[in-house]
């Protein structure tokens, strides 16, 4: 158990250092999110729109610019979180293979990568919540931050899975962009008036979108909808574990490697 914990902490440290070396991801996190929120504010009118929020089973009236900013913030977080996780996972695949051949156990490797998904998601959520708090009259900042973190976890898990599966980096970027655009487009009530389209509730952002809109624009907090993103994150993490177990070889147990080093 102690050796597995040591492997986990070491791999988590290496994964986080990989995130910090990704300058494009850092630029996207710092600059893209506020720019995207500002674009939504400038390009959407202040006309009051009436939308149906399924999470509270009631209509909500709010300025279109406010609704658009919340939806755009979710889209920006998903894209950045997906890029960060996919890039690190894709670029470290050969290193993961070498670590497994050297004796590192599979489970700490994946757990370290899952933890490295959660930490950036939390930071992105905190940063984006501050931006929205400055730009909007946010009703409930805490639940809004949890919704944004859930969006980051869901697409971080998707990035983790794609980074373990696709053969080319461009393929992964394309899939993340297309999925994020389709998801955010269907969930945005300003551009999509048919919020009851069949299948929308199965998309990764449905639950967090409902929680974010409810928390930011209404007195209600639909907590249960925020759990849907955790389901997506858990499912993609489990699939990534299966891929890692199937496609990554392991030649010797961790404790054997440590024993050889000690000798």
- The angle, 0 to 180 degrees and rounded to 10, between the axes of the packed helices 93-102 and 106-135 is 150
CA angle at 259 for the pair 253 and 260, rounded to the nearest 5°: 95
- Does the pLDDT at position 169 exceed 90? no
In 3D, which of 95, 131, 127 has the Cα closest to residue 10?
Answer: 95
Distance CA 77, CA 130 (A): 13
Query: What confidence category does residue 259 fall into, taking pLDDT thresholds of 50, 70 and 90?
Result: very low
Query: What confidence category does residue 200 fall into, taking pLDDT thresholds of 50, 70 and 90?
Result: confident
Read off the pLDDT of residues 25-56 as tens digits, 9 standing for 90 and up.
788 888 899 999 999 888 888 888 888 787 77
Read off the pLDDT of residues 61-104 as tens digits, 9 standing for 90 and up.
888 888 889 989 999 999 999 998 898 888 888 777 777 777 77
Give percent of the chain with pLDDT exceeding 70: 87
Sign, Cα dihedral of 252, 256, 257, 263: negative
> Is the pTM higher than 0.95?
no
Distance CA 152, CA 134 (A): 21
- Does the pLDDT at position 198 exceed 90? no
Read off the pLDDT of residues 104-113 as tens digits, 9 standing for 90 and up.
777 777 788 8
Q: Cβ(125)–Cβ(146) under 8 Å?
A: yes
């Amino acid at each position: 158990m102690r050796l597995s914990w040591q492997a986990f902490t070491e791999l988590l440290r290496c994964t986080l250092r990989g995130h910090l070396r990704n300058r494009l991801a850092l630029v996207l996190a710092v600059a893209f999110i506020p720019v995207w929120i500002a674009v939504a504010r400038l390009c959407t009118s202040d006309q009051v729109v009436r939308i149906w929020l399924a999470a509270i089973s009631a209509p909500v009236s709010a300025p279109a610019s406010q609704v658009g900013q919340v939806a755009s913030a979710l889209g920006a977080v998903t894209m950045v979180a997906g890029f960060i996780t996919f890039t690190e996972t894709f670029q470290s695949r050969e290193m993961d293979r070498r670590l497994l051949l050297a004796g590192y156990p599979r489970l700490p490797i994946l757990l370290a990568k899952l933890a490295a998904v959660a930490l950036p998601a939390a930071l992105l959520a905190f940063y984006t919540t501050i931006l929205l708090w400055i730009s909007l009259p946010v009703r409930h900042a805490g639940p809004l931050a949890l919704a944004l973190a859930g969006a980051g976890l869901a697409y971080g898990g998707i990035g983790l899975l794609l980074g373990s599966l696709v053969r080319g980096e461009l393929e992964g970027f394309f899939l993340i962009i297309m999925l994020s655009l389709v998801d955010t487009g269907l969930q945005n009530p300003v551009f999509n008036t048919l919020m009851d389209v069949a299948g929308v509730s199965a998309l990764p952002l449905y639950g967090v979108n409902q929680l974010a809109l409810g928390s930011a624009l209404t007195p209600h907090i639909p907590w249960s909808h925020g759990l849907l993103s955790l389901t997506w994150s858990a499912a993609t993490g489990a699939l990534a574990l299966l891929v890692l177990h199937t496609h990554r070889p392991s030649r010797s147990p961790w404790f054997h490697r440590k024993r050889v080093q000690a000798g």
